[in-house]
Amino acid sequence: MMREKDITIYDLAKSLKLSIATVSRALKDDPVVNKKTKKRIIELAESLGYRTNHFAKNLRTQKTNTIGVIIPRLNSYFMSTVIAGMESIANRAGYNLIISQSAEALEKEIDSAQTMFKNRVDGLLVSLGYGTTNLNHFDQFLHKKIPLIFFDRTSSQSPFTNIVLDNEKAAFDATQHLIDQGCRQIVHITADTGLEIYRHRLQGYQNALAKHQIEFKEELVLEANLSMESGHEIAKRILAMRKRPDGIFAANDSSAVGCMIKLKENGIKFPEDIAIVGFNNDPISIVIEPNLTTINYPGYEMGELAASQLISHLRGSHSLQMTKTIVLHHELLVRQSSLRK
Amino acid sequence: MMREKDITIYDLAKSLKLSIATVSRALKDDPVVNKKTKKRIIELAESLGYRTNHFAKNLRTQKTNTIGVIIPRLNSYFMSTVIAGMESIANRAGYNLIISQSAEALEKEIDSAQTMFKNRVDGLLVSLGYGTTNLNHFDQFLHKKIPLIFFDRTSSQSPFTNIVLDNEKAAFDATQHLIDQGCRQIVHITADTGLEIYRHRLQGYQNALAKHQIEFKEELVLEANLSMESGHEIAKRILAMRKRPDGIFAANDSSAVGCMIKLKENGIKFPEDIAIVGFNNDPISIVIEPNLTTINYPGYEMGELAASQLISHLRGSHSLQMTKTIVLHHELLVRQSSLRK
DNA sequence: TTGTATGCGTTATCAA
DNA sequence: TTGATAACGCATACAA
């Protein structure tokens, strides 16, 4: 593939009978260069369609202006919203995002981390996969002092900054709400696998039960991958229970909705027979009937925050060193799926 | 920020008392270098954690191994699925994706194109925004012979390759199905703005009407931005109509569902009073009651295809020059929202 | 099969 | 205020 030759600072310099040094300075708006020469240089650059060669620049400066993002899956409403937020901030700041999906598998996550490392990203934003049992693959970033922020699916084990909701409190709120509505036999749909986000939600669920002297029963905690299909599966398990639950708190909306659909097919009424609360405030929560009570999770803001924290750290304007955890605001959105009175 | 010094081919060469040329060759598995030396070099490289400096490499080779993606919005189910498909192919092939959102605005789309150009992407994948009235901002890619593929929201005006559904046929199928179900007064919800994808769908709608000698009425074509909220808006317009329609064909599922929700609130029954068909096969289509009949749009496959076409072109294994348009298979998924018999 | 030398387009140091 | 020049790390033409 034959491309025309690109304009370089040499071309500009020759054309204006200046040195490349001056041209380079003018292009980065160095105050040291004469206003008039600067003007001439910039005008010529524009008229000739000059564009800086980022590779030369990066090679020289050892920075890439690139941020890596590792996520389990891109195609969920929540995650794509987060990425949208990140992209908007990054773009504005002149950073590029490179995204890699770990498909919830540790091996792929290691690969992704490897790719990011090889690409010499300036910083990294990571949401962990179900399969992640250790964080060794992120050590290399620590060594090279490449900043890394975990968001959503985080790990407080790590020395990195985390951006999260107060998952324990959110789960507590959700469960407490169910209890307030009269529920006493409450199922919790979760994803386990040792990810602390789900441990925290489980803990919040337990705390609420404890506060109201409701016995915690292991068999009411149902694990799934939280897809809509997994919700169908969970519904079957619920239908098979000796004592039918009167409340469900699901760790996301997809599984809650999948579960509702299947239970409704089996004649269960929401919220009369079972009151249900989800998590995320996914659009499907206002499509299902009755509308799903859920925890509002500000994905776009989380993406914006993660990106801006990272970038301001990279620019040295604000270090992450001190910031262990940033907690975003959540909110219980009460809708018909759980409202009995 | 102080980083440790990276290992380069100079370090490897010195350490093994070889020239950097040999090391460079060995690292790219050049058959010309001695098997044993190659082995020594590669082993040392691995043990020292050598990683190629892509900037130096790109600077030298004038290729970036980066593909730019410009889309209106990332946070829709369809689009995030497409991106997921692209990412999976690109990642496997050693390409990075950089993504930019045009927010449906021409100005932002021009910016995005500019950014991609400045970043010297090897190729570009683009889905056009509502606001796009001309394609001048893509001329620069043509000039530099940077391959560009439009997908989903395409433009046959351009000299670039398009990857699409047969939108006219799909719309025809959808409308014909409604007619088969007895509909005679069929509303079409669309987004206009001159994007040909919507023109084609409108055309398909008209063709189906024509085939069955049903008069086309301008006032039954309702424009919206196709969000769920816009569906509410459309519903109001429908409720205000003198003669109530008995069928709706919407250009996407979100608007269809938003419309259904509002109409149901007003006592309209689906499919008895109105039969409705959407487009995309978004997850909400199987959450709404009754489940929404829709056109299955293979987003993931479209993403995979777009990326693999571009990459194989870049690798020279298969040129895009000859390929004007690639049409993906679609399928009408008949569900309860339109099924009267 | 290996080595030498050069250039890719910048930035930045040191001089002028 | 401007210029000359040396890196940055790699790939490759040409020599050996």
Q: Is B119 on the interface with A (CB under 8 A)?
A: yes
A76 inside 8 A of chain B by CB = yes
Instruction: For chain B, say whether A58 makes contact (Cβ under 8 Å).
Output: yes
**CA at A242, C1' at C14: how many angstroms apart?**
85
Express each pLDDT in B308-337 by its tens digit.
Answer: 999 999 887 777 776 789 999 999 999 999
Q: How far apart are CA B126 and CA B109, in angstroms?
A: 10
Residue A119 CB lies within 7 Å of the nucleic strand D: no
Per-residue tokens: A197: 């986000």
- CA of B13: nearest nucleotide by C1' is C3
Q: Which sign, positive or negative, has the C-alpha torsion A158, A163, A166, A170? A: negative
Asked if B4 and A143 touch (Cβ cutoff 8 Å), the reply is yes
The residue-averaged pLDDT of A155-167 equals 93
Give A5 CA → D13 C1' in Å.
Answer: 20
SS3 call for A305: helix
Using the structure, give the distance in angstroms from the CA atom of B22 to the C1' atom of D14, rounded to a whole number. Answer: 15
Task: State which protein residues have CB closer than 7 Å to strand C.
Answer: A 5-6, 8-10, 20-21, 24, 27-28, 50-53, 56-57, 59-61; B 17-22, 25, 32-35, 37-38, 56, 59-60, 62
**Is A3's pLDDT higher than 60?**
no
Measure B110 CA to nearest chain A CA, in Å: 13
Q: Is A75's CB within 8 Å of B84's CB?
A: yes
Which has the closest alpha carbon to A75: B194, B308, B236, B74?
B74
Chain B residues within 8 A of A254 when measuring between CB atoms: 283
> DSSP string spanning B23-50?
HHHHHTT-TTS-HHHHHHHHHHHHHHT-
Supply the pLDDT for residue B4. 53
Residues B203-207: contacts with CB within 8 Å, 24+ apart? B203/B168, B203/B171, B204/B167, B204/B168, B204/B169, B204/B170, B204/B171, B204/B172, B204/B173, B204/B174, B204/B175, B205/B171, B205/B172, B205/B174, B205/B175, B205/B249, B207/B168, B207/B172, B207/B175
Residue-wise pLDDT for A212-267, tens only, equals 999 999 999 999 999 999 999 999 999 999 999 999 999 999 999 999 999 999 99
Nucleotide closest in space to B28 (CA vs C1'): D11
Q: At what angle do helices B9-16 and B20-27 cross, to 10 degrees?
A: 110
Which residue from A150, A279, A298 is spatially nearest to A202, judged by alpha carbons? A279
Task: Pull the structure tokens for residue B46.
Answer: 């691995």
Cα–chain-centroid distance for residue B106? 17
For residue A119, the chain B residue with the least C-alpha distance is B54
Give the pLDDT confidence score for residue B143 in this predicted structure.
87
Q: What is the pLDDT of residues A23-72, one digit of tens each?
A: 999 998 989 999 999 999 999 999 998 999 999 999 998 888 899 999 99
Rounded, the Å distance between the CA of B15 and C1' of C3 is 16
Say whether pLDDT at A311 is over 80.
yes
Question: Amino acid identity, residue B103?
Answer: A
* Best CA proximity match to B283, nearest among B240, B253, B314: B253
Residue A2's pLDDT band (cuts 50, 70, 90): very low
Residue written as tokens 């006592």?
B267
Angle between helices B228-239 and B253-265 (to 10 degrees): 50
Residue that has been written with the tokens 């994948």 in this structure: B125
Task: Please give residues of chain A from 19 to 58 whose alpha-adjacent beta carbon (CB) lies under 7 Å from any atom of strand D.
Answer: 19-22, 25, 32-35, 37-38, 56
Name which residue leads in pLDDT, B260 or B49: B260
Q: Which two tokens stand for residue B304?
A: 């995979």
% pLDDT > 70, chain A: 98
Confidence of residue B3 (pLDDT cuts 50, 70, 90): very low
pLDDT, averaged across chain B: 93
| Spatial distance between the Cα atoms of B33 and B56, rounded to a whole number of angstroms | 22
R_g over Cα of chain B: 26
Q: Are B155 and B128 in contact (CB under 8 A)?
A: yes
Q: How far is CA A330 from CA A165, A297, A301, A339, B140, in A?
A: 7, 6, 11, 19, 45
The per-residue b/e assignment along B152-191, b for 16 or more CB within 10 angstroms, e otherwise, is bbbbeebebbbbbbbbbbbbbbbbbbbbebebebbbbbbb
Cβ pair B75:A84 closer than 8 A: yes
B107, pLDDT greater than 70:
yes
| Longest Cα separation, chain A | 89
- The residue-averaged pLDDT of B197-216 equals 97
- Mean residue pLDDT across chain A: 93
Residue the block writes with tokens 């909220």: B229
What does the pLDDT look like over B60-97, one tens digit per residue?
998 888 999 999 998 899 999 999 999 999 999 989 89
Residue-wise pLDDT tens digits, B291-310: 999 999 999 999 999 999 99
Give the closest-approach CA distance of B191 to chain A in angstroms: 21
C-alpha–C-alpha distance, residues B35 and B32, integer Å: 9
CB pairs under 8 A between A and B: 131
Among B56, B80, B254, whose Cβ lies nearest the Cβ of A80?
B80
pLDDT over 90 at B179, yes or no: yes
Residue A300 CB neighbour total at 10 angstroms = 17
- Name the burial class of residue A215, with classes exposed (0-12), middle (13-18) and buried (19+) by CB atoms within 10 angstroms of its CB: exposed
Q: Which DSSP letter does residue A214 get?
A: P
In this complex, the residue with its CA at the shortest distance from the C1' of nucleotide C5 is B21
Cβ within 8 Å of A, B 211-230: 228
- A295: pLDDT confidence band, cut at 50, 70 and 90? very high
Give, in order, the Cα–Cα distances in Å from B8 to each of A328, B47, B51, B147: 42, 13, 8, 33
Q: What is the pLDDT of residue B2?
A: 39
pLDDT of residue A177: 98
d(CA B198, CA B222): 12
- Chain B residues in contact with A145 by the CB 8 A cut-off are 1-3
> What pLDDT was estimated at residue A266?
97
pLDDT of residue A330: 97
Contact by Cβ (8 Å): B115, A91: yes
Look at residue B336 in the predicted model and tell me its pLDDT. 98
- Whether pTM > 0.85 for this model: the answer is yes
Q: State, as a whole number of angstroms, the distance between the CA of B45 and the C1' of D16.
A: 27
Q: Do B74 and A64 touch (CB under 8 A)?
A: no
Find the residue in B nearest to A261 (Cα). Answer: B287
Residue A328's pLDDT is what?
Answer: 97
Amino acid symbol at A214: I
Tens digits of residue pLDDT in B125-169: 999 999 899 999 999 999 888 999 999 999 988 899 999 999 999
* Adjacent-strand bridge partners of B163: B151, B326
How confident is the model at residue A4, as a pLDDT? 53
DSSP state of A283: G
Nucleotide nearest to B21 (CA to C1'): C3
In this complex, the residue with its CA at the shortest distance from the C1' of nucleotide C2 is B22
Angstrom distance, B158 CA to C8 C1': 33
Is the Cβ of B52 closer than 8 Å to some Cβ of chain A? yes
**Chain D bases having any atom below 7 Å from a protein CB:** 1-5, 7-13
Query: What's the CA gap between B227 and B84, in Å, rounded?
Result: 22
* Interface check A52 vs B, CB under 8 A: yes
Among B75-79, B173-177, B190-194, B301-305, which is the least confidently predicted range?
Answer: B190-194
| Contacting residues of B for A119, CB less than 8 Å apart | 54, 96
Record: contact A84-B101, CB cut-off 8 A: yes
Residue B216 has pLDDT above 70, yes or no: yes
Supply A304's token pair.
Answer: 């914006």
